[in-house]
Copies of this chain bind each other. A is one copy, B any other.
Amino acid sequence: MYKLSERSKKVLYAVVQSYINYPDPVGSRIVTKRYSFGLSPATIRNIMADLEDMGFLTQPHTSAGRIPTDLGYRFYVDSISSKGDVSANIEIEILHGLYNRLQVLKNNIELLLSETTKSLSALSHYLGVAMSPAPDVTVFGKINLLKYQSDKVAVVLFTDDGRIKNKTLQVSPEISQKDLNRIAQYLNSEFAGLTFDEIRMRLLKEISKDKTKCDTLISRALNLCREALYFTFNELFVSGLSEVLELPDFADLNKIRELSKAIEDKHMIIKLLDKLSETEGLKVIIGSENTVSSLKDISLIVSPCKEGDRQVGVVGLIGPTRMNYAKAMYIVENTARFITKMLTER
């Protein structure tokens, strides 16, 4: 890694700051004018040339000013995260906006997350995203099997964190409610406290073991269980497309197409958030830091939400790399904190 002199840092910071506020390439004159270094444009020019050599800045073309590279943004983000220089009145907005909307939804985390994305995007003018926890951190709560019409079984699954999942299964030879209750009881005692990844593994083992015995009745029950327990836990919520379309960064049709494809391919975002949600606290991914190539022109800010010390979701923002990181990070952090607080202290 390069070592930057204190002065270079200040200039780099100023360039990024200016570009974030104003979507025009930043020239040496602007830097001297908007930020009072005691230096002439020529000197700034030299510094900026150095910063370009080091990979922090780049030029759209020879006679334009400079704009930050992803590395430049990274420097910026790393230096603000310790500061926290956003006006505090956003917080009040957040609290008010969220409080009224979400208070009602305490008991429905999925709806709560989905509403949160709206609030996030409204506050930030970026894409609000949220995701409910993956099966490897979702803990089994309770299962109910309800007979429904003659040949159908409704599966109602409670996760430990208060989500309810349901589905209908068709069972070819009828099963009585009594038998269903017994199966449910078995599952409840067997799987209490396990995550769904663990449960799946256990079931898989069970089934392969069972095959040797060839007991059709038990194997039927096992298959039923497997089906009954298969749900998509990772639900992704996104909103605010019309917000980001107002940004100059998405004035280009191709950029919009890329973004809309990225949004539609939820699977990919889920995978990404999944990986990120393992870490604690606020996380910022800038442009090509992202391994997923289709997201290499956008940045992502995420933070997990908790209830007690169980994770109940991830919230975040997606925007252009030229993003108001300070504000966006502030919003994400406080939204996550707010939800955590609300869920924990009830």
Residues of B within 8 A of A158 (CB): 148, 154
Q: A43 in the interface, Cβ–Cβ < 8 Å? A: no
Contact A166 B164 (CB under 8 A): yes
Shortest Cβ-Cβ A-B pairs, 6 listed:
A107-B168, A242-B260, A164-B166, A242-B261, A241-B260, A245-B257
Residues of B within 8 A of A245 (CB): 253, 256-257, 260
Q: A80 in the interface, Cβ–Cβ < 8 Å? A: no
A152→B106 CA distance, assembly (Å): 12
Interface residues of A in 241-282 (CB under 8 A from B): 241-242, 245-246, 251, 253, 256-257, 260-261, 263-264
Residues of B within 8 A of A253 (CB): 245, 251, 253, 256
A-B contact pairs, 24 of them (CB 8 A): A107-B152, A107-B167, A107-B169, A107-B170, A108-B168, A144-B146, A144-B156, A148-B158, A154-B158, A154-B164, A156-B156, A156-B164, A156-B166, A164-B167, A166-B166, A239-B264, A240-B264, A241-B241, A241-B264, A242-B257, A242-B261, A245-B257, A246-B257, A253-B256
A167→B108 CA distance, assembly (Å): 7
Q: A142 in the interface, Cβ–Cβ < 8 Å? A: yes
A 132-172 to B, binary, CB cutoff 8 A, 1 in contact else 0: 00000000001010101000101010100010101111100
Residues of B within 8 A of A168 (CB): 107-108, 162, 164
Residues of B within 8 A of A240 (CB): 264
A 61-76 to B, binary, CB cutoff 8 A, 1 in contact else 0: 0000000000000000
Residues of B within 8 A of A156 (CB): 144, 146, 154, 156, 164, 166
Residues of B within 8 A of A257 (CB): 242, 245-246
A 270-301 to B, binary, CB cutoff 8 A, 1 in contact else 0: 00000000000000000000000000000000
Residues of B within 8 A of A170 (CB): 106-107
Residues of B within 8 A of A146 (CB): 144, 156
Residues of B within 8 A of A164 (CB): 154, 156, 166-168
- Known interface pairs A107-B170, A245-B256; 20 further A-B residue pairs with C-beta atoms within 8 A, sorted by A's residue number: A108-B167, A144-B144, A152-B162, A154-B156, A154-B158, A156-B156, A156-B164, A162-B168, A164-B166, A164-B168, A239-B264, A241-B241, A241-B260, A241-B263, A241-B264, A242-B257, A245-B253, A245-B260, A253-B256, A256-B256
Residues of B within 8 A of A106 (CB): 170
